[in-house]
Amino acid sequence: MIVSTTPGHTHVRLAATVTEELLQTHAPGPQIQRENKRRVELGGRMVRPNLIRMLDHFHVPALISQPDATSLWEEAGFDSIQPLALLPHATTRRGLAFDGPLDELLDTPMLRDVFQREFLDRLPQYPRDALYIGLGRTAWSGLEHAVRAGLLRQQQLLGMMPVPTRAGSMVRYFLREVREADLSPNDPVRHRIAWLDAAHREMEAGVERLRTESIPSAQPRRLTA
């Protein structure tokens, strides 16, 4: 499972475009849902390419018996990935997608209620061996909250990666394509280096832990996004 905080404007526009296109062809409901997952969830000009690069960097697809991250949106691997969001209905604040910390979400009654009903209450329906990756610190905090609530096991949390919509050098730094010394003096990524480095180490450790575990399973693991 790949967990984000909430869909952004790009997601909403893409969903509207894809759904309108399919409705005009009188596509049945299940097909519309499936195509929205394939073309809209974690889609967009920056999101999916950056996400694919990050998943491949850590060799995550191999954990769920897939050759690479691109295959997760193809027929063979399509059922191995499931995108989720703490706030699945696009939530904005001052015109921008909500990106506040989890504490702020929990302190807002309406958002806390949506988080409980639409995210936490639905976790028990997913496979007990599903793996979870958080996109950004708020999503990761939401997953840790679920562990404390007894809804997930700590072993299911693979790690955290930066939000792939971020422009600039954040994803490139996270993927070790640029070094700290390569960043300009005013690059805001300089203020995020500590947690990006910690997240990179945690992802590496999580993947290595699962790679070396010998847990008998008749079915391949699933990645919930």
Cβ-Cβ contacts under 8 Å for 17 (sequence gap 6 or more): none
**Where are the chain's structural domains?**
2-11+46-224
Distance of alpha carbon 118 from alpha carbon 81, whole angstroms? 18
Average pLDDT over residues 140-157: 96
Q: How high is the pLDDT of residue 121?
A: 97
- Phi, then psi, of 4 in degrees rounded to 5: -110, 180
Using CA atoms, how far residue 57 sits from 14, 20, 125, in Å, is 27, 35, 30
pLDDT tens-digit profile of 166-185? 667 999 999 999 999 999 99
pLDDT digits (tens, 9 = 90+) for 200-222: 999 999 999 998 884 555 455 66
DSSP code, position 179: -
Q: What is the pLDDT of residue 215?
A: 52
Question: What pLDDT digit, counting tens, does each position of 117-140 carry?
Answer: 999 999 999 999 899 999 999 999
Check whether 24 has a pLDDT greater than 80: yes
Q: Give the pLDDT confidence score for residue 221 in this predicted structure.
A: 60
**H helix and E strand count, the chain:** 8, 7
Residue 218: predicted pLDDT: 44
Contacts for 195 with CB less than 8 Å, ≥ 6 apart:
137
**What pLDDT, on a 0 to 100 scale, did the predictor assign at position 220?**
54
pLDDT above 90 for 74: no
